[in-house]
Amino acid sequence: MEQEYVIENANSFEPKQVFECGQCFRWNEETDGSYTGVFGKNVLNVKKEANNIYIKGICDGDIKEICTEYFDLNRDYEEIKEKLSKVDENVATSIAYGSGIRLLNQDLWETLISFIISANNNIPRIKKIIERLSKEYGSPIEWGENIYYTFPSVGQLRNVTVEEFREAGLGFRDKYVADAVRKVVSKEANLEDMYKIESTEILRQKLMEFNGVGEKVADCVLLFSNLKRLDSFPVDVWVRRVMGELYFPGIEEKNIDKKEIQNLAKEKYKNLAGIAQQYLFYWKREA
DNA sequence: ACCCAGGGTCGTC
DNA sequence: GACGACCCTGGG
């Protein structure tokens, strides 16, 4: 049954920014400017009018609880923006540009697989592949006249062959995803245990034990999944570009050491580096 | 037609 | 630590 939830005075919640800042792949814009997406066993539509957020859809539980968790509603983004704006003029500008960005609390398994697929790939194609996997192996959810599909669970992928992943369009990442499924099924890797690990660095190493997960993918999973390591600072081509322009003037992009970028980020943005990354990423990509 | 880049990682040297 | 290969797709 359809449920509804309204967030009033939502200053730090702009659907376009939340869903297009690169953290998620399953939210799509509707003709009216609202966004519809699938996460867990939920299908929701999110629309902003005046300064309110109107959410409706099919929920696997209480919509308010589910939204509070997923949309990170208990975190004070006003305070975060205030803190980060003080770092320097550059960040302040990027925050003014994407002041409605929030970090979603996404399922760890889905985030892990999604970002393995993201390697050396572009966003439209990543979205297509994930949609195809969901349709092929996920579970259907009916809402109105449409059928949506959940992201496939470990169990739903356990018998999928490398060849079948290749057919789904994963390209050379087919073997990585198949191996991740195998590791979790065989309990060689345990995702639940990862929540118990305190050190972001150790957790990062743990994630990198998955084939196809290097530093960048691990950092994205740390930041964008419900592991919620806000101190993680993924450096991709866009972030490298913007950080190079802002803090390493005159040096050619490819010559900037990635470690140096991350050290600088940690020093400047401290434990909010990941959120700063999102403001900078969105700013550079959109503007 | 051709090349290039895309939220990189891996194997090899 | 550097370097090329890698599936595939869209855009110049």
Give yes or no for CB of A286 within 7 Å of strand B. no
A151 and A203 co-located in one domain: yes
Q: Where does a domain end: A209, A224, A239?
A: A224
Taking the C1' atom of every nucleotide in all shown strands and the CA of A118, the nearest one is B7
Which residue is the nearest neighbor of C8, CA to C1'? A171
Which residue is the nearest neighbor of C5, CA to C1'? A172
A119 and A210 co-located in one domain: yes
A117 and A211 co-located in one domain: yes
Q: Dihedral (C-alpha) A259, A247, A232, A280: value to the nearest 10 degrees?
A: -140
Please determine, for residue A27, whether its predicted confidence score (pLDDT) is greater than 80: yes
pLDDT band at A241, cuts 50/70/90? confident
A31 and A132 co-located in one domain: no
pLDDT band at A278, cuts 50/70/90? very high
- H/E stretch holding A94 reads helix A89-97
Please tell me the distance from the alpha carbon of residue A36 to that of residue A30, in angstroms, as a whole number: 7
Please tell me the distance from the alpha carbon of residue A204 to that of residue A231, in angstroms, as a whole number: 12
- Output the domain CATH number for residue A113: 1.10.340.30
**Domain ranges, residue A67:** 2-72
The domain tally of chain A equals 3
A36 and A48 co-located in one domain: yes
Structure confidence at residue A195 (pLDDT): 98
Please tell me the distance from the alpha carbon of residue A23 to that of residue A110, in angstroms, as a whole number: 12
The first and second tokens of residue A258, run together, are 């990635």
Taking the C1' atom of every nucleotide in all shown strands and the CA of A172, the nearest one is C7
A16 and A42 co-located in one domain: yes
Taking the C1' atom of every nucleotide in all shown strands and the CA of A239, the nearest one is B7
Please tell me the distance from the alpha carbon of residue A118 to that of residue A105, in angstroms, as a whole number: 18
pLDDT band at A72, cuts 50/70/90? very high
Q: Nearest CA to A279 among A24, A123, A81? A: A81
Please determine, for residue A187, whether its predicted confidence score (pLDDT) is greater than 90: yes
Residue A175 CA to nucleotide C6 C1', Å?
Answer: 12
Please tell me the distance from the alpha carbon of residue A107 to that of residue A10, in angstroms, as a whole number: 24
Find the distance separating the first CA and the last CA of chain A, reported in whole Å.
40
- Residues facing residue A38 across a β-bridge: A43
A126 and A190 co-located in one domain: yes
pLDDT band at A287, cuts 50/70/90? confident
Q: What is the pTM of this model?
A: 0.97
A89 and A137 co-located in one domain: no
Q: On chain C, which bases lie within 7 A of the protein's CB atoms? A: 6-10
Residue partners of A65: CB distance under 8 A and separation at least 6:
none
- Output the domain CATH number for residue A34: 3.30.310.260
A29 and A170 co-located in one domain: no
CA A137 to centroid of chain Cα atoms: 21
A140 and A171 co-located in one domain: yes
Structure confidence at residue A6 (pLDDT): 98
> What pLDDT, in 10s, does the model give residues A81-106?
999 999 999 999 999 999 999 999 99
Taking the C1' atom of every nucleotide in all shown strands and the CA of A122, the nearest one is B6
Residue A128 CA to nucleotide B11 C1', Å?
Answer: 29
